[in-house]
Every structure is written in C-alpha cells, then in structure tokens.
Amino acid sequence: QIATTTGPSNDAIKFKINAKASTAQPAGDYKNKINFIVVANVPPRDFPDIIPNDGPKDPETGLPTIQSIDEALCNQVEAYDTQFRVTDIRDHKNYWISKLRDGKCWMTQNLDLDLDSTKTYTSANTDLGWNGIGYTSTSWQPSLSTIPSTDIDSDTGYIRGWQSSSSDPYSVDVGDLYWDPDTNTFSETPDPASGAHMHSGNYYNLIAATANNTSLSSQWGPQPNSICPTNWGLPPMLGQARSLNDLSQYYGNTTATGEYYIAAPLYFIVGEQIYASYDSSTSQIVGRRSTTGSGFYWYNTRAALQLYPSAVSFTSPDPYVGINIRCRIREKDKFTVNFDANSGEGSMSAQQVSYGGSVALAANTFTRSGYYFNGWNTAANGTGVGYGNGGSYSAPSTNATTSVTLYAQWVEDTGQGSGSVGKTLQDAFEMAYVTNPGAFPDGGGTKHGLYVPDKDPNTGEYTGTYHEATSAAEYEGIPANDLRFAIQDIALTINNVKVCDYATVIGSSAYVLDLRDFTSYHIIKAADGRCWLADNLAFNPLASGVTMNENNTNAPAAAITNFLGGNAGTQSGWSSSAVGYWGNTTYTEPRINVNYRNTVTNDSLDTAGGYKVGVYYNFCAASVGTFCYSSDTSLDRPDTAIDAEYDICPSGWRMPTGGYTGGEYLSAKNAYGDYTSLRLALRLPLSGLYSYAVFLHGQYGRFWSSTRFISSSPGENEMAILGLDQSSVSANGGLYRDHGFNIRCIAK
C-alpha cells in the first residue's frame, strides 16, 4: 500500500523502484510488470445524500419534514447509526432520526406531540392506516377539549390531568424534562451530550397511542392507526417479531456498565409509567409516576417494551396507563414471489413486493443440463400465466393471497449453442439462415433471406423499400431496426428446432417482410411461448404486384385460385346487400376493405406510426374463400359450421384458435396477466369493425379466429373472435360474418 486518501485528491504520489542484482546473475535485459490497483472507498450514503434539496420543508424550522421520510427513502440510506434532524409539521417540534442496524429507520427521541383540540390531525400528517389496509376515514380528531392542567406537583411528584376514564384518549405532558442516564433521574436542563435525544416526551395511554382506534378493554391485535407522523407508526409486534426488543441482538449492552439502549445511538429513557390515582387530600384524580425503575414503550398491540437499566423484555401493561412512544418507519405489507427450478438446479431467493406494486423479477440463475431457460410460469406445466426473464410482476392489490410461486420453463437444447439463455428472435432468424444454406439460391451460407433497405442512389436516403441481400457486405453496419427477415421463414428450423422455439427471450421482436407484398411487420416472442404477429395483417390480395401462392400463403393452390377468381374483394366500399346478413347462405364473396391508418382515435395505447390498423376482412376473405357458406360445395365447406383450415396469413402462420373458452387468444392474455400488458405486448389497437364504414374505432377491437363459437348447442355456426373493449378481453361469437374484422396471425 503506497498511499490512502479519505476523499477526492489531486495529489501526486511519488514512489521509487530499486533493483537488486547478484554478481552471479547473468548479464542481460530483464522485464517485469508492476500492477497498480486503486480501490475506491465510497462512503455509505446518508440522509443528506438521499433527501432532495427541493423536498418538503417545515415553514418554521426550515428542516425536512419527518412526514416526507418514507420506506422507499429509508431503503436508500446506507449509513447506520448516524443522526439526522427533522421537523414534525403538526407542531413544528424537531426530532432526531436514524437508520439503525436492523435496517429500519427510527426516531431516536420519544414522541412529544401534545394532543390539542385546536390542531388538525389528517392522513397527510398523522399515521392513520397500518400498511394501507383497514383505514376508511380521512382524518382523526379526538375529543380533547376537556384536557385539564398538566402541572407537576413538586411536593408529591404527581402529574395532574390524567383521567381514569377508559373512553378518553388522553396523553400527559410532563414538561420539558430530560433523562440523565448517569443519575437515572429527570432534569430540567439537558445533558449537552445526550439531552436533545433524551427528552422525556409525552406519556400516552393505548387509545391515545392508537389514534382513538381501539377499545382499551378488549383490543389485543395489531392496530391500523397511530399518532406517529405520516409514514411512521408504532413498532409492530406480530407473533415473535418484537421489533423493539429485537434491537438487543444488534446493540446488546450499549455501555460498559451494562445499560441497555440508553447510550448512543438509541437514547432510550429508563423512565416511568404514568397511571391514574385519586388524591384524597385534594379530591382530584392525578397522574402518578411509577417507581419501578423501568421504562415502557408501546408496540402497535396491547403490549410494550419494558426497559431496565441492564435488561430489556416485553410486557402487557394496563391499556389506560400512560407510557412512551418511539415511532418507526412504516413498512407496507409485502407479497412474496418464490422461484421453483422445476427440474432444474440451483437456488434463488424469494422477492418481496408491496401489495399493488410491481417488481422486476430477478434474472434466472437456475440451470438444467441440455435445456434453455424459457421464462417463468405460475404453473409447472406452463399452462398458467407466463413471465419473461427479468420481466415485471404486479402484485395483487389486497392481501387476500400472500405469495406466488413461479416455475422455470425449459426448452430442450438440440445442440446449437451452449445452452445459454438470451436468444432473441433476431438471433433465431440469423441462425436459421446460417444453418440452412441450401434453402437459398446461391447456397453460399450468407444471410440470404435478409432484406436490406433501398437507398436513393443520388441522395443516399432510405426510400422505404427493400431488396434481398446477396452478400454479407450488404447488411454489415445497417441497424437492426432497418433490417427485415422474411415472415415466411418462420418455418425454418435450426437442427430440428423451429425459429420460434429457438428464441428464448420473452418479449424479443424481429422486423419481417411479407414476401407477397413486402409489407413490414413486427413479430414478437410472447409470454405464452408462441410467436405472434404484433401488427394487424395489412395484406391486400387485389393490390398490383401482389404474389399469392401456396408457398407464401396459408392455403393450397386450389383455394387461392378460387379465391382470386371469385372477386376477392373491393377497396371502394362494403356493401352489406352484396354479402348478406347473418343466416343468409348467399354469403359468397370474400370482401375486404383496406385501411392503412396507423393511429386510432381515442386509443391511448396507440402511438403514431406504431400500430397498424391494417385491412378489414369478412370471414369469407379471411378463410381464402373456403368458408363462405355457399351452396356450391366445390368452392366452399358445407353449411354445417366447422373450424377454418385455411386463411390468408403468410405460410408458416395461421389465425389463432378462439372457441367458447377463448383458445390461444385468451391463453396469451392469461400469460400477460392483465389487459393492458396484453395490448402493449401484442400492439393491439381498438380498430373497430367495418360494415358500411369503419365503426367504433377507439372503442372496440375485433379479431377473427379459426374456431367456431359453440356456446350452448353443437353446430352453432358462429366464428369466435377476440373481443377487446377499453378495459377487458373476451371470447365472442362473430355474429356478422359479412362484417370486416382484423386478423392477427400466430406462428404454426
């Protein structure tokens, strides 16, 4: 070690290197390496480092308010046992607080709030809801107008003003007294070393301590309210979690003389308790100090810490007895997320998240020989709700359930790569091109099938069109967002593993081109483990230049020929008279209406240029003319409803299943867990529907499935659709097969 510094330094550090050689050492050049290591000793962050300069300040003292110190801020403080000064905005009194070695933030002074009928106690300044559960009122104002004098009788030591009635939430103010730990007595002048901390504070019976929330005669359980400041509360005592008593495991005897808790940084007072007594000489009920030589501090239950000069324990004092309060930062109830290796190996610690909050899931550390990690699921067999590696988990809003177990999902490694996690859809497509050179014209192993943007030869600007790369030089240096893969290439395999299964990163996407019309789309590896089109299908089979055949469309040649020969549709209008209504078996024409709008009015999830509304298809068009309920069975299916086998999705893709229970559509919704997450992940716009024109855009979304909708009687010839509105997802019957709905394709 050459030098150290306790702070930033620009000092030059000088040193010398001497060489010592023996005369027996052969002559020559000798070399050696000297490594210099600089170790940063960053001091732990304390309250001044965390609290923002522009945070709430008390108008009288200018200090930060104790009400602005919450659990999140306390968690950021790294320095233990250091003191920080704050002000209670209710009466502008100052207190010291500290983060103690139990990891919690505490007041290191007794509470000194004078309950006064002229003050206002609200949820903005007073703790009125333990863990945010059970509190329904907006304020607490006890009846304090009859609080009598709190003078101390110097002759008897009695403290006047303590009412014996168990229905009155009274506290006692013993005046500005300070505890002297050297003499075990109170003094009116503070010890400079500890007096500011050792203020005696007020004595509160249980009903005062719990903000008039409890019955003194019967309540033993945890209380939702207290008179501590907002974000602070009475320390909890649930089962054996005696938070006050447990401080002894961190501090033990705080002085050499065996005094517990009295010295810095805790500064507890070995005071007395105050109880009601009748003074026959004055005919008054007065407060008497106990002479037990111990101090008491309320928990949030009908129990207290009992503090002696050389020991700590807990007790259950009479609830009308007045004792002290030490407030501790409030911690919200936590929901636990457990992780299960599910046939894998390793261990992962559980995570906790506040009810109604969300947490980024810990990155997976489980391993399984011969398998890739493929996300989490609430069911071991993958049939529950799925979550990506490092994805967001939202806890329930109430404590009706206390935990969830997420099971690791595994995909067998067939030999490509080392089994590491993190293969994106982009990785999968690129590997497919590398490992399938025979599938492409030159067979040379270049990334054939990768399409690169065309540029104007004069300006060099991107023109919005693409051409297929024929050499590596054509795609090198082009941003991934500007590259396109062929959507039809989803059918390629990598050592018998499909492109979609090879991708392991949930939420990863790729940009693809439909080779029939070179329209660009997003595709996504979704939380249900499937690959989805993340834009509405915008394929227009009547547009010039479109190539539609069985190699690029999910239908055989005969169906495509009949479809194109039977007037595939019209771009100029939608005539209900031409296609019929529900139950009309003359529904023979596959009709479409093109609408390439990328935004939907009043749909906050849509972003300009980001969400394709695409094309509206009646079901005859969606099924490539194979499901039109025509009496000509050579062109159509029989009138009895069956599931659609073909559709106008690209080859390698198809319409998702729907059915009465929702099929693959609702499986995706369940994997994301909520409506908003599904819509954001799959970029689902509320694009309405088409009949005479576009209706209900921004309010509803309707998406065809391949499955008939059977609700009550078999053979009911409705087609199921995904139904979206502004707040829910459902499976519906497609009552109007002549209406135009959107299409989302799913990889086969």
d(CA 449, CA 429): 9
CB count in 10 Å sphere of residue 412: 13
CA separation for the pair 358, 42 (Å, rounded): 30
pLDDT of 715 reads 37
CA distances from 522 to 431, 510, 653, 665, 669 (A): 19, 6, 14, 18, 19
pLDDT of residue 292: 56
Give the ranges where 478-550 is alpha helix by DSSP (H). Answer: 499-502
Contact criterion met (CB below 8 Å) for 37 and 69: no
Query: 3-state DSSP call for residue 620?
Result: helix
Which stretches within 465-512 are classed as H helix? Answer: 472-475, 499-502
- The 10 Å Cβ neighbour count of residue 333 is 15
Kindly report the backbone phi and psi dihedral angles of residue 565, in degrees, each rounded to the nearest multiple of 5, phi listed first.
-80, -15
Nearest C-alpha neighbor of 259 from the set 311, 313, 185, 324? 311
H or E element, residue 47: helix 47-50
Give the three-class secondary structure for 85: strand
pLDDT at 64: 96
Beta-carbon count within 10 A of 690 CB: 24
Cis bond before residue 265 (omega within 30° of 0): yes
Q: At how many degrees (to 10) do helices 663-672 and 675-682 cross?
A: 110
Of 8, 15, 9, give the one whose Cα is nearest residue 36: 15
Decide if 343 contacts 350 (C-beta within 8 A).
no
Q: How many helices (H) and strands (E) does the chain have?
A: 12, 41
β-strand pairing of 93-99 with 105-107: antiparallel
Give the strand pairing for 334-340 and 403-412.
parallel
Sign of CA dihedral 676, 425, 493, 490: positive
Smallest Cα–Cα separation from 74: which of 53, 95, 42, 45? 45
- Measured over the CA atoms of residue 493, residue 497, residue 501 and residue 505, the dihedral's sign is negative
- Report whether 690 contacts 683 (CB < 8 A): no
What does the buried/exposed string (b/e) look like for 369-378 if buried means 16 or more CB atoms within 10 Å of the residue's CB?
eebbbbbbbb
Q: Over 104-141, what HEC string results?
A: CEEECCCCCCCCCCCCCCECCCECCCHHHCCCCCCECC
Mean pLDDT per 10-residue section of the chain, whose length is 748 residues = 64 73 78 73 87 92 95 90 94 94 92 77 76 35 38 43 49 72 73 77 82 60 83 78 75 62 80 62 55 77 80 79 88 85 90 79 83 81 75 75 87 53 82 74 60 82 79 76 87 86 85 89 89 92 84 91 67 38 48 71 55 84 77 44 82 84 76 78 84 75 78 46 68 67 92
Which residues 6+ apart lie within 8 Å of 569 measured at CB? 541, 542, 589, 590, 591, 592, 593, 617, 621
Q: How far apart are CA 206 and CA 511, in angstroms?
A: 65
CA distance linking residue 528 with residue 490, whole number of Å:
17
Tokens in use for 544?
A: 């010039």
The reported pLDDT for the residue numbered 156 is 42
pTM: predicted TM-score of the whole model, two decimal places: 0.48
- Residue 455 to residue 47: CA distance in whole angstroms: 56
What's the distance, CA 249 to chain centroid?
A: 34
Residue 274, helix vs strand vs coil: strand
Angstrom distances, CA of residue 234 to CA of 256, 547, 741: 30, 73, 58
* Residue-wise DSSP of 511-523: EEEETTTTEEEEE
Given a contact cutoff of 8 angstroms between Cβ atoms, the answer to whether 653 and 554 are in contact is: yes
Q: Which residues make beta-bridge pairs with 358?
A: 394
Taking alpha carbons only, the member of 147, 177, 142 closest to residue 287 is: 147
The whole-number pLDDT of residue 588 equals: 62
> Which residues does residue 377 pair with via DSSP β-bridges, in sequence order?
386, 407
